[in-house]
A and B are shown apart, each in its own frame.
Chain A
């Protein structure tokens, strides 16, 4: 038996059966090598350098970077901004995708296009628009100043800019999912006597929970990392209106490399955790995310 197995496997090596869609080994290795080289050069190397630079003077200076009150203020502000803008966009994203997926109304396609606007507009432009609307010389500027409300160069402006930039993440994730699911389960719940809100809680939400979590993760990653729009509206006041990305830039411009890269490590760490969670969700709930398991 074993002899036969050996000869047959030996013969197989000679014949080399290959599926028609598979390229020759040379093409395969060339493609893989290109991809790996590209990733190494443009993704892994920068990430590694962030960690190397941060720890270049040892663990001590790395840790003292976080003792700086301005750095702590930046971390606090970033967390605060994310804590406001992510729930806001969670609510908005749910409302928008609900109305788009479950109802038809005039202007629906306009709404879908508008949701994508933050993806197509440069964040700097978005920030400038807020300055023009809420700034001192802006549309509502004088009125706001008269009432003692400061939006631009203050926390509210940063929150608004972040909300704008992270607008589409939840909605974009949920709309296709909800459209695919349709309304029939909700209708069933309604005929069974459930109120609209109870139907949402007990039927709609469980069906979209993984997609929703996925969208929230992406939204959160972007909210913490946003630079352009926030940079325009923040005013870069140390200890007051600097988020982590802005603080990193300031420290870097002051040649305070260790402190700059230490904060960058924190941001990169947040991004890695988000990515890890996202991959876990994709692996664990791929069906629910794509809506494929909905049909039986």
Chain B
């Protein structure tokens, strides 16, 4: 099996007055494992369905290996799709489910019964469900159904594998196992794989590249490292990983929070209201008198890595969480100076949206 390159050009789709996808363009390399990440209603499933051919976009094109597939019927796209609740055929056995895509082929291209059976056996082995071919979907566990759905999709030797919330309906432990397993399957098959998820951990752990969607638009495309270290928008920094936001003002090249000045580079940024984002790991307890911020320790909690402190910042009505090493843990109720090691600042535009990215410090 060899994966196809997918190219999406300016795809838009409206559901009534609601724009589900707005000017989405995306290039996916052959064999790449890509996650579509976003909250519900962000358009990620719609985009997956556009690639599959289950939705036809109102504008824009979808290309497979450079060929325009926008108007190619779903049957001719050779896309392996794993649906959110697997959509297994309830009235067929596992083996019949897996062989379905081969049995429904036109007579000329249909493999012989023996060949279909051999392929089904091979796929059952591949997804580690040997001996369960005679069962019905209702007799399987969630994780097993997931495997059947995948085997059924792989049976047609697809060019592209698409998965809609592949681990959504499973409990946490099965999820973890299946994540690793999907990664292996991807490595073995070399298929271009696109999966939809709302779980940022899942996206970051599995995908070569992650496409972050919000309200029908692509916010950022990048490797997990890029998304984490160089988030392009306030949405990305808050959706991917934990982040704390502070309202600040930029004036005369300085960033002011309350009466304090934060040492953040404002080169090329417009003056006015802005928002500073930083991650719990980027803020540390500073030496006395050296802090950018000061606050009071509200609670302390042991985490596997160290201590996590909830701190009420002076001049701000919200608390923030920081990770501090055990040996420097602050005492409950005590005042601590804090220093920012890394922060991102997003000044507001005319509409009051925080859009332009700026690397801090």
Contact = CB atoms under 8 A, between A and B. Distances in A.
Interface of A: 184-185, 187-195, 198, 202-203, 206-207, 293-294, 296
Interface string B114-146: 000000000000000000000001100000000
A98 to B, nearest CB: 18
19 contacts: A185-B90, A187-B74, A187-B81, A187-B83, A187-B87, A188-B81, A188-B83, A188-B89, A188-B152, A191-B53, A191-B79, A193-B75, A193-B78, A195-B104, A202-B89, A207-B90, A207-B91, A293-B90, A296-B137
B104 A184 contact: no
B138 to A, nearest CB: 5
Contact of A190 (B75, B152, B153): B75
Interface string B71-91: 000111111110101011111
Determine which residue in A190, A193, A194 has the highest number of CB atoms from chain B within 10 A of its CB, and name it. Answer: A193
Interface of B: 52-54, 74-81, 83, 85, 87-91, 100-101, 104-105, 137-138, 152-153, 155-156
A185 B89 contact: yes
A188 B87 contact: yes
A198 B83 contact: no
A191 B81 contact: yes
A185 B87 CA distance: 5
A189 B52 contact: no
Nearest to A190: B74
A296 B138 contact: yes
A194 B75 contact: yes
A192 B91 contact: no
A102 B88 CA distance: 18
Nearest to A191: B81
Contacts of B54: 187, 190-191
A296 B29 CA distance: 37
Contacts of B89: 185, 188-189, 202-203, 206
Contact of A184 (B79, B80, B83, B137): B83
Lowest 7 CB-CB distances: which A-B pairs, in order?
A192-B101, A194-B104, A188-B87, A191-B81, A184-B87, A206-B91, A190-B74
Determine which residue in B76, B91, B155 has the highest number of CB atoms from chain A within 10 A of its CB, and name it. Answer: B91
Contacts of B137: 296
Contacts of A293: 90, 138
Contacts of A187: 54, 74, 81, 83, 87
A93 to B, nearest CB: 21
Nearest to B81: A191
